[in-house]
A = this chain, B = another copy of it.
């Protein structure tokens, strides 16, 4: 043990968090005082206790500076099952909660989503002082624990490892947490299900969570949300890789505010200024004009919108794709529809644990979808809304409430939480959208929805410089600002289309969460830039 444990309290007090050190010192002093008293009274057994027969079996470790290599295997909490019964293991984890009761102390050790109950009880190998030390460790401190895995008679409902507990023989603090936490993991983890019979309980508000994101992210729910988010990216890439797409990277700093100039962040660029890209749109199209044929890119996109809503961020992750097609842009729509189906199936099949973990805290209906994905025309959507009493013009865009309502109507009629709405009015789409040749009011464009909220916008793009110039002028766009974009199509370009997906929205809506800040690890909105 000597190799990784140094018991010089002074050195430790300098090196590890002060509070924990003080606490430990206090506990040690108290133990000494008791021992002294007992010695003074001439109690022989107290003599032994003064010496603390377990004194090498607990304490604070020196700050790990990689002083030496240690040959010791750490077992992971997830593996603690009955098959390891009666074996001795070393575990490193967070002390989540502890409860001292007479000569013993129960605590819960946590590793990401996994928890196990541990017990330090005075006995042959454990001294009173050691129990006190354990009881004094602040919540969220990281500890190395050595103990025997024991099968339990009664299932431990409060832990992920329900069939075993750990009977501790050694315990060392690896990294101390301050005693006062700005939020408690158990409060941040409390279910939002209808309050139970015990009445209202403490919950942690969003800003407190985000201000202390490092603690908040430790809840099993957040561990699950961000693992699932990583899963969405992986499924997106795997599905597209299999279809011959090439991953590309596009610049975020751009010379001109490309799409009209509104909602764009300005950057000082040496002696001049530049902008942050609102999407990789122009660049992925240029990659098509450069013969990459099918491309995708995952990266940050920036929107300087002063929107403080549940679904807007100023910076988010775009999953963008663009592809050449042979004859009709429905080749693109079908590809994207199938992409979503593959993502939904992948989540359902490979992330069932994460989904059920999140549902425990934030209950939601399971996400439903059809294969192939449902595609409706915009006019059909408008018709459904009108039948439900909504008054709107043919060429008007869908308002957010109408999108929500349409989502409900589609769900009721087709039993799907995902659908494609095709052939939007030309007037409500960006200048580079291909007009419908069969109906001048419409365009070859589409949005896709999850639970009634837009998660993808896309279209066939204009690949002809003359028509693109004409449409730019029609939209009042300063041609000089988009010249290099228009020029990209002067040397021949394949007909193409694509779309951009908001990652955080997909995860929020798939899980039925109510706020996009729950699916952005360190969210950015008009009022939040930290941490």
In the complex, A407→B256 CA distance in Å?
Answer: 41
Q: Across the interface, do B317 and A249 meet the contact criterion of CB distance under 8 Å?
A: yes
Q: Across the interface, do A230 and B248 meet the contact criterion of CB distance under 8 Å?
A: yes
Q: Across the interface, do B65 and A290 meet the contact criterion of CB distance under 8 Å?
A: no
Q: Nearest chain B CB to A368's CB is how many angstroms away?
A: 27
**Which B residues touch A408, using CB under 8 A?**
none
**Which B residues touch A287, using CB under 8 A?**
217, 521
Q: Nearest chain B CB to A469's CB is how many angstroms away?
A: 11
Q: Nearest chain B CB to A12's CB is how many angstroms away?
A: 11
In the complex, A1→B317 CA distance in Å?
Answer: 44
Q: Which residues of chain A in 28-65 are interfacial with respect to chain B, using CB atoms and an 8 Å cutoff?
A: 63-65
Q: Nearest chain B CB to A100's CB is how many angstroms away?
A: 20
Which stretch from A297-305, A342-350, A370-378 is at the chain B interface? A297-305
Q: Which residues of chain A in 77-134 are interfacial with respect to chain B, using CB atoms and an 8 Å cutoff?
A: 92, 94, 110-112
Q: Which residues of chain A in 298-349 are interfacial with respect to chain B, using CB atoms and an 8 Å cutoff?
A: 298-300, 302, 304, 306, 314-315, 317, 326-330
Q: Across the interface, do A327 and B70 meet the contact criterion of CB distance under 8 Å?
A: yes
Q: Across the interface, do A14 and B491 meet the contact criterion of CB distance under 8 Å?
A: no
**Which B residues touch A17, using CB under 8 A?**
464-466, 490
> What are some 10 contacts across the A-B interface (CB < 8 A)?
A65-B436, A175-B463, A177-B490, A178-B490, A218-B290, A227-B246, A251-B300, A254-B530, A274-B529, A485-B531
Interfacial residues, chain A to chain B (CB-CB below 8 A): 4, 14-18, 63-70, 72, 74, 92, 94, 110-112, 140-142, 174-178, 181, 213-215, 217-218, 222-223, 226-227, 229-230, 233-234, 237, 241, 246-255, 265-270, 274, 276, 283, 286-287, 289-293, 298-300, 302, 304, 306, 314-315, 317, 326-330, 434-438, 444, 460, 463-467, 484-485, 487-488, 490-495, 503, 520-524, 526, 529-531
